[in-house]
Amino acid sequence: MNPSYFPNSAKINSSNHLEVGGYDLTELAERFGTPLYVIDERTVRDTAKEYKEALNEFYPNSLPIFASKALSLQAIFSILYQEGFGLDVVSAGELFTAQSIKFPGEKIYLHGNNKSMEELEMASDYEGTKVIIDNFNDIEILRKLGKPIDALLRLTPGVECHTHEYIKTGHLDSKFGFDLDQLEDAIEKIKSISNINLIGLHAHIGSQIFEIAPYQDAAKILLGSFVKLKEKYGLEFSELNVGGGFGIHYTEQDDPPSINDVIKKLSETVKSLVSEFKLKEPKLIIEPGRSIVGRAGVTVYTVGASKEVPEGSYYISVDGGMADNPRSITYQAEYEACLANRVQSDNLKKYTLAGRYCESGDILIKDLELPVDVQSGDLIAVFGTGAYNYSMSSNYNRVPKPTMVLLNNGEAEVILRKETLEDILRNDILPTRLANLKEKVH
């Protein structure tokens, strides 16, 4: 049985190599080099189908939208469109990516706590795109643009959840959204602007969440606001967006609820409250991101140097690290890994998996159990790297970003080409007066 953090298609073949999508990762590394981002298409589609099937069963009047900040690529957007998803975008770049493949505007929602005039104008000009209003500045920019736009208002519901401090977004002291005591002021301002059509409320309580109750609590607060605004202003909202942040298995210790359970219990809560509050049933919007692509991703590295510290750690260094996966150094994120070219072994010891970058904190995994004879040239496969690894990657130390391949039924297709050294210099500008290195050095 595969570990819970494996992609759905992963298996150990007769050569004791790791396969994903019917492709031996050792052969893949030879073909494309390392570091290498790998995405299992089957896992992406299977997970998307789980969400769609659960929503169709428990709350048919719904739309799942992919939180595209997790992995913003044309190929991923195309797959999720085929699976019936919309998109949550937070920048001109993400919106432009969607527009480049003609993703339907009526299924796109623009988020962000500091949207620019350019971003809001792009959204207004792309027919059907909706805006999540996060603050009074959004309202003022939309007023100045004067273009008709459907919008939802983002609230900070004050719901706590057990997650990392940096990825909590629904508590009261947050940069995101309107506090509940600002709600009526926001509504008054919006009502005075003819081009903004307010259709619903939104909240997002955090990320990598393993509990269902916080979503139910947030829904109750949002629907309670539906009631207040209906009574005071006669507003009848048509959309309820409860955000995303659904957790995944990064390690065997992680214990997220099933997608079916989350949707079932959330749907039951919303239906019950809608009935209790005598509201018209709103369309239910959810925003899964990490849970769609996280477990679909594997990053393959090649082992290089090693170092044993007396009475300390045994370090093995790989040809990637914090630039292609900043989550470990940023969030102290934990991962599982194995040797892709020797998956199973009875004789193991603990290693510290170090990155190649010039930071002492560039450590991908501590206390990683691998065969005792790990050596230079072995391949390390790190699991659960499909979400936020490429999205948050950098060119630290001027290292090019890796290739990404999409695997499906033994086929490997490049969906992100590896950067070249020329790409690194693409935006450099050297003033003429500095171009002659033969000039006298002072």
Span 374-392, pLDDT tens digits:
999 999 999 999 999 999 9
172 pLDDT band, cuts 50/70/90, is: low
Q: What is the DSSP letter of 256?
A: P
Residue type (1 letter), 298: V
440 has pLDDT over 70:
no
Q: Who's near 9: CB < 8 A, 6+ residues apart?
A: 19, 20, 21, 22, 40, 42, 43, 407
431 has pLDDT over 80:
yes
Phi, psi of 398 (to 5 degrees): 55, 45
Residue type (1 letter), 429: I
159 has pLDDT over 90:
no
Q: Who's near 188: CB < 8 A, 6+ residues apart?
A: none
Residue with tokens 């490429």, as numbered in its chain: 390
Interatomic CA distance for residues 164 and 12, integer angstroms? 33
pLDDT of residue 163: 47
> Does the fold of domain 111-288 match that of domain 11-40+294-425?
no
What are the start-end ranges of the E strands in 323-431? 337-339, 348-354, 363-371, 379-383, 403-408, 411-416
Mean pLDDT of 263-276: 97
Span 92-149, pLDDT tens digits:
999 999 999 999 999 999 999 999 999 999 999 999 999 999 999 999 999 999 999 9
pLDDT of residue 176: 83
162 has pLDDT over 80:
no
170 pLDDT band, cuts 50/70/90, is: very low
Mean of per-residue pLDDT scores for the chain: 94
167 has pLDDT over 60:
no
Topology (CATH level 3) of domain 111-288: TIM Barrel (3.20.20)
pLDDT of residue 253: 92
Cβ neighbours around 298 below 10 Å, total:
30
Question: What Å distances lie between residue 392 and 44, 83, 323, 326, CA to CA?
Answer: 20, 25, 8, 7
**Residues 358, 434, 435, 441: which is the catalytic one?**
358
Mean pLDDT of 394-423: 97
Closest CA to 84 of 129, 48, 46: 48
* 161 a catalytic residue: no
79 pLDDT band, cuts 50/70/90, is: very high
Mean pLDDT of 52-63: 98
Q: Who's near 48: CB < 8 A, 6+ residues apart?
A: 64, 79, 80, 83, 84, 85, 292
Phi, psi of 337 (to 5 degrees): -155, 165
Mean pLDDT of 4-19: 97
Q: What is the DSSP letter of 387?
A: S
Interatomic CA distance for residues 283 and 152, integer angstroms? 12
All structural domains of the chain with their residue ranges: 11-40+294-425, 111-288
pLDDT of residue 161: 53
Closest CA to 188 of 232, 134, 151, 132: 232
pLDDT of residue 297: 98
| Rounded-to-5 percentages of helix, strand, coil across the chain | 30, 25, 40
Q: Length of the chain in residues, anyone?
A: 442
171 has pLDDT over 70:
no
pLDDT of residue 10: 97
12 has pLDDT over 90:
yes
Span 214-260, pLDDT tens digits:
999 999 999 999 999 999 999 999 999 999 999 999 999 999 999 99
Span 283-340, pLDDT tens digits:
999 999 999 999 999 999 999 999 999 888 899 999 999 999 999 999 899 999 999 9
26 has pLDDT over 90:
yes
Q: Does domain 11-40+294-425 correspond to CATH entry 2.40.37.10?
A: yes
pLDDT of residue 437: 78
Interatomic CA distance for residues 60 and 412, integer angstroms? 35
Phi, psi of 68 (to 5 degrees): -70, -15
pLDDT of residue 311: 80
441 pLDDT band, cuts 50/70/90, is: low
